[in-house]
Amino acid sequence: MKSQLRIAVGQFASAEDWSGNLKTCHELIDAAAAGGADLLVLPEGSLSLFVDEPARIREAAQPLDGPFVRGLVERTRGSSTTVIAGVHVPEADGRVANVLVAARDGEVVATYVKLHLYDAFGRRESDNVVPGTNAPVVIDCAGWKVGLMTCYDVRFPEMARLLADQGAQVLALPSAWVRGPAKEWHWEVMVTARALENTCYVAASGECGRRNIGASMVVDPLGITRARLGDAPGLLWADADADELASARRTLPVLDNRRFAVDPRLERHA
């Protein structure tokens, strides 16, 4: 395990044209690799924008062996940077799956299908998206354990705790957090709480643009925001430090002090 994990978080406004979004992802991947990033977290909606017509997500979706993911993965070839980005993948029933792809050195190292769908605040993601039924996913990144979550997942503390139970020291959280009354406050509170209650780092990427708040951030194990973007495209940097993580977990041993386990069984299948 490296003593420090160099984290980059990319933020941009997706367009309807996937090829333009891929170009933006390439630019962020290149910049992250040039800066020595071990981990780059890109937004949930990296493939395409579908603001006014939610059902358009079905038309915009591409398989994991389609041109967007192939282009994303190929750009990582020859690099040790692990890149995590969100895409939508066609499913047999006509809906899509909301999938995080983790890629490194020209290979897909893991995928995670979003478990909690955004059926809230007057929206129904489940009309067009199939929920995951997989167990939470933790990947290795430069010897660190990185847990994968997507956007609305952050509102469910048991999700982050299950990842911590699997050894996660960093939570990677690609998002497309929709604007609305108090929504930016919700985002900051939830991201900070998941870091603090699990004494882990959270690297949260937010899509920006006319629908979403942006506000990408990295929060440390004691709940301190180390870096944050506003509502414009950008790339932020932060380091996760092994000694700092160990110190935080000694000072605030919530994982040792807890009295209840989290049941990994799904409550229901949507």
CA distances from 137 to 112, 228, 240, 245, 270 (A): 6, 25, 20, 21, 20
Chain-centre distance of CA 44, in angstroms? 6
Contacts of 80 (CB under 8 A, 6+ apart): 38, 104, 105, 142
Q: How far apart are CA 29 and CA 176, in angstroms?
A: 19
- 224 inside domain: yes
- 222 inside domain: yes
- 211 inside domain: yes
Domain count, the chain: 1
Contacts of 224 (CB under 8 A, 6+ apart): none
Write out pLDDT tens, residues 69-128: 999 999 999 999 999 999 999 999 999 999 999 999 999 999 999 999 999 999 999 999
Average pLDDT of the chain, as a whole number: 96
pLDDT at site 269: 58
Which amino acid is it at 51?
V
Q: How far apart are CA 146 and CA 167, in angstroms?
A: 8
- 269 inside domain: no
Write out pLDDT tens, residues 26-78: 999 999 999 999 999 999 999 998 766 778 899 999 999 999 999 999 999 99
Residues identified as active-site? 44, 114, 151
Residue closest to 202 by CA, chosen among 236, 243, 250: 236
Residues across the chain: 270
pLDDT at site 202: 99
- 153 inside domain: yes
- 266 inside domain: no
Q: Mapping DSSP to helix (H, G, I), strand (E, B) and coil, where does residue 98 land?
A: strand
- 48 inside domain: yes
Query: What would the mean pLDDT of 118-142 be, rounded to a whole number?
Result: 95
pLDDT at site 268: 67
Q: How far apart are CA 199 and CA 254, in angstroms?
A: 8
High-pLDDT (> 70) share of the chain, %: 98
Write out pLDDT tens, residues 175-199: 999 999 999 999 999 999 999 999 9
- 196 inside domain: yes
pLDDT at site 245: 98
The range of the structural domain enclosing residue 103 comes to 4-257
* Prediction pTM value: 0.97
Instruction: Residue 216: give its domain's CATH number.
Output: 3.60.110.10
